[in-house]
Amino acid sequence: MTTTVLDAVTHLLRETGMTTVFGNPGSTELRMFRNWPDDFTYVLGLQESSALAMAAGHALGTQRAAFVTLHSAGGVGHALGAVFNAYRDRVPLVIVAGQQARSLLQLRPFLGADEPEQFPRPYVKAARQPQRAADVPAALAEMHRIAMTHPRGPVFLSVPEDDWDQPAEPVQPRAVHGGFTADPDALTALAARLNTCGRPALVIGPGVDDEAALPQAVALAERIRAAVWFSPLSGRSGFPETHPYFQGILPPVAGPLAACLEPYDVVVALGAPVFTYHVADDGPLLAPGTELFHLDCDPTQAAWLPTGTSLITTLRPALAQLATLVGPSDRNPPPTRRQPAPVNASANNALTPELVLDQLHQRLPHNRVLVEEAPSHRDVLHARIPISLPGGFLTTGSGALGWGLPLAIGRALADRQRVVCVLGDGSALYSIQALWTAAQHQAPVTFIVLDNNGYQAVSALGRRLGITPVPGTDIHGVNFTALATSFGCPASYADHSHNLGTALDHAITSLGDDDGPHLLHLRVTDTAGLLYEP
């Protein structure tokens, strides 16, 4: 019996654990679905960017690459914002897009993609359209290895629709051990500097969580008594925010960021894109006298960093080696971070973000994964809901909205553990149709929509720049409860403090891992300040 491309690919997907397939099918993918295997699950997203973000959540939950199918050029175009997020956030995805039949490509056919391997660049690690149908399985195996090698990320393969029925040789997956460590002399020099410095600090980037290096990061911080900060706009956590050495999140503005790090003579950034800025100012990268070391697995990060010393390495072996090279410190530990005071209900019983997040924190089990895409409220969320669970916080570190809602669905489907997803109203509307998928698969996700009637983060940034009002930032009249129920997702609503507790009890406390999704729509007051206070 002749082995076809489809047979070989199905075998490869099964052997690499990619039996949950995310996508939105079209005509150029139909032959791929012939004789669909009983042990495969197809997760339908009603728009390609949502399908890809769900795949990303699944990959983050399983720590394996996830498989996504997109529909030709149009589907890839729809998904590119999510591809951008996956690339910047180092999420391993194997993306296959349908292409028109090889016999039609010279005729520029309907749905055909011109230069398909160029379309998703530069936001994929690799992209190809194999020259022969017989090469598709081997190319897919290579793409999987690339996706899973540090720094991990999405890869792309374009497959003409008539390739699936052509003969091909089976391909066996092979192991690639991707951990590598820095030059021993460089680590020794870094350890010597940490032994002699006066006030060290660690900057924790998303790479710490991505490489499961949190225990090693905590051990190093405690051994050298270092203050710990998160890198600006990080898509992950990577250090327990309840730890007494944790100081907060660095602002994405050069001057204020340098001021936060000015007290330290040695700063070691771990798995962080140093530094991510969102607002331009004339401040320095670092204050005079602050020495920067940068440990990361991505050589491109090391290349563009304009200051400091970079060590190209994966984190766990490097941090384990550092722990043997640095001595225990007797320097004073960093000061304990001030915690915000609890807030009470306002005189008119309106819901403030601070009140909502305080109440959420009281009800949130310690083992719940929290997904956030509420730019207006992110600083308040971290101040009032400290994350301590490894892998317990996910957001977009890149800024393309519409990521959080479907990301939470994919993360919940990875292990069927309930996820709590906090969304702004503007963010939720980018991918609201993903609620249908959550309902169809009974994904255990509680969605909490903090509705402040618009893109208030954009308005706050406008105020910082002296632009007020900002046109196009108001959103009124959206009934999220009705939207959710129309997609089959149960929903509830609250707009006063007197019914907030009951609403949160139902959406958080009473729902377990065996229950399906629920959306809680909360009408909250506007956030009036500037974005990124100086």
Annotation marks residue 27 as catalytic: yes
On whether residue 339 sits in a domain, the answer given is no
Is position 29 annotated as part of the catalytic site? yes
- Please give the distance of CA 429 from its chain centroid, rounded to a whole number: 18
Q: Are 500 and 346 in contact (CB under 8 A)?
A: no
Q: Are 438 and 489 in contact (CB under 8 A)?
A: yes
Q: What percent of the chain has pLDDT over 90?
A: 75
* Interval 26-47: pLDDT, tens: 888 889 999 999 999 999 999 9
In whole angstroms, how far apart are CA 162 and each of 74, 102, 180?
19, 7, 41
Mean pLDDT, residues 212-222: 96
Catalytic residue among 77, 178, 248, 399: 399
Interhelix angle 315-325/184-196, rounded to 10 degrees, is 50
Q: How much of the chain is in helix, strand and coil states, percent to nearest 5?
A: 40, 20, 45
Instruction: Please give the pLDDT value at position 474.
Output: 80
Average pLDDT over residues 131-139: 96
pLDDT at 129: 95
Q: Are 146 and 19 in a shared domain?
A: yes
What is the percent of the chain with per-residue pLDDT over 70, rounded to a whole number?
99
pLDDT, tens digit, for every residue of 447-459? 999 999 887 778 7
**pLDDT score at 527:** 61
Same structural domain, 191 and 312? yes
Burial of 47 by CB count in 10 Å (0-12 exposed, 13-18 middle, 19+ buried)?
A: buried
Cβ pair 223, 326 in contact under 8 A? yes
pLDDT at 319 over 60: yes
Q: Which segment of 75-89, 256-270, 344-358 scores lowest on mean pLDDT?
A: 344-358
- What local confidence, expressed as pLDDT, does residue 357 receive? 95
Residue 534 maps to a domain: no
How is residue 332 annotated by DSSP?
A: P
Residues 106 and 51 in one domain: yes
pLDDT of residue 472: 76
Of the three residues 165, 196, 215, the one that is the final residue of a domain is: 165
Residues 223 and 277 placed together within one structural domain of the fold? yes
Pairing of strands 369-373, 291-296: unpaired
Mark whether 263 and 387 lie in a shared domain: no
243 is catalytic: no
* Number of Cβ within a 10 Å radius of residue 192: 12
Do both 447 and 502 map to the same domain? Answer: yes
Helix axes 404-415, 48-62, angle to 10 degrees: 40
Question: How far is Cα 372 from Cα 412, in angstroms, rounded to an integer?
Answer: 14
Question: Long-range contacts: 305-308, Cβ < 8 Å, 24+?
Answer: 305/274, 308/269, 308/274
Whether the predicted pLDDT of 105 surpasses 60:
yes
Residues 508 and 402 in one domain: yes
Pair 124, 200 in one domain:
no
Calpha distance 75→117 (Å, rounded): 14
pLDDT at site 275: 82
Q: How far apart are CA 491 and CA 517, in angstroms?
A: 9
pTM of the predicted model, to two decimals?
Answer: 0.95
Give the range among 167-176, 193-202, 337-346, 405-414 with minimum mean pLDDT.
337-346
Residues 154 and 63 in one domain: yes
Q: How far is CA 279 from CA 104, 254, 377, 462, in A?
A: 48, 8, 18, 11
Please check whether residue 62 lies inside any domain of the structure: yes
Q: Do the domain assignments include residue 175? A: no
In a domain, 330, yes or no: no
Instruction: Say which CATH number the domain at 312 has.
Output: 3.40.50.1220
8 A C-beta contact, residue 237 and residue 228:
no
169 is catalytic: no
In 3D space, the residue among 268, 205, 276 whose CA is nearest the CA of residue 235 turns out to be: 205
Report how far apart, in Å, the C-alpha atoms of 430 and of each of 232, 425, 433 are: 24, 9, 8
Mark whether 298 and 433 lie in a shared domain: no
- CA–CA separation, 39 and 16 (whole Å): 14
Whether residue 490 is contained in a domain is answered as yes
Lowest mean pLDDT among 398-402, 488-492, 502-506: 398-402
Q: What is the spatial order of strands in the sheet that 20-23 belongs to?
A: 41-44, 20-23, 66-70, 93-99, 155-160, 127-128
Whether residue 426 lies in the annotated active site: no
Assess contact for 29 and 71: CB atoms under 8 A: yes
Domain membership flag for residue 334: no
Quickly list H helices, 276-390: 299-304, 315-325, 353-363, 378-384
- What pLDDT score was predicted for residue 169? 93
pLDDT at 162 over 80: yes
Residues 506 and 452 in one domain: yes
The answer to whether the Cα torsion of 293, 297, 302, 304 is positive or negative is negative
Q: Is 382 a catalytic residue?
A: no
Query: Which listed residue (57, 58, 61, 71) is catalytic?
Result: 71
Question: Catalytic pick from 26, 61, 402, 410?
Answer: 26
Q: Give 372-423 as a DSSP string.
A: EE-GGGHHHHHHHS---STT-EE--SS--SS-HHHHHHHHHHHH---EEEEE
pLDDT of 2 strictly over 60: yes
Closest CA to 434 of 422, 447, 420, 424: 447
Q: Which of 23, 48, 150, 376 is catalytic?
A: 48
User: In which band, very low, low, confident or very high, does the pLDDT at 304 lie, cut at 50, 70 and 90?
Assistant: confident
Number of domains in the chain: 3
Q: Quote the pLDDT of residue 476.
A: 86
Averaged confidence pLDDT in the chain: 92
Q: pLDDT tens-digit profile of 273-296?
A: 878 878 888 788 888 989 999 999
Helix (H, G, I), strand (E, B) or coil at 491: strand
**Cα–Cα distance, 29 to 6 (Å, whole number):** 11
Question: Does pLDDT of 526 surpass 80?
Answer: no
Specify the pLDDT at position 44.
97
Query: Above 90 in pLDDT, residue 66?
Result: yes
Tell me the chain's radius of gyration from C-alpha atoms: 24
Using CA atoms, how far residue 10 sits from 4, 98, 157, in Å, is 10, 16, 15
Q: What is the pLDDT of residues 242-251, one digit of tens each?
A: 999 999 999 9
**Of residues 115, 169, 179, 278, which has the active-site annotation?**
278
> How large is the average pLDDT for residues 343-351?
83
Candidates 422, 364, 376, 430; CA nearest to 403 is: 430
Q: Which of 398, 353, 405 is nearest to 380 (CA)?
A: 353
Cα 513 off chain centre by: 22
What pLDDT score does 339 carry?
Answer: 86
What is the domain-level CATH number for residue 409?
3.40.50.970
For residues 57 and 193, state if they share a domain: no
Among 279, 308, 325, the domain-final residue is 325
Examine the pLDDT at 22 and tell me if it is beyond 80: yes
Element (H, E) at 446: strand 445-451
Mean per-residue pLDDT for 260-265? 95
* Residue 284 preceded by cis peptide, ω within 30: no
For residue 376, the model assigns a pLDDT of: 87
pLDDT value at residue 301: 87
Question: Catalytic site residue 11?
Answer: no
| Last residue within a domain, chosen from 284, 310, 325 | 325
d(CA 211, CA 34): 37
Domain that holds residue 479: 353-523
**What is the structure's pLDDT at 532?**
62
342 within domain boundaries:
no
User: Residue 107 pLDDT > 90, yes or no?
Assistant: no
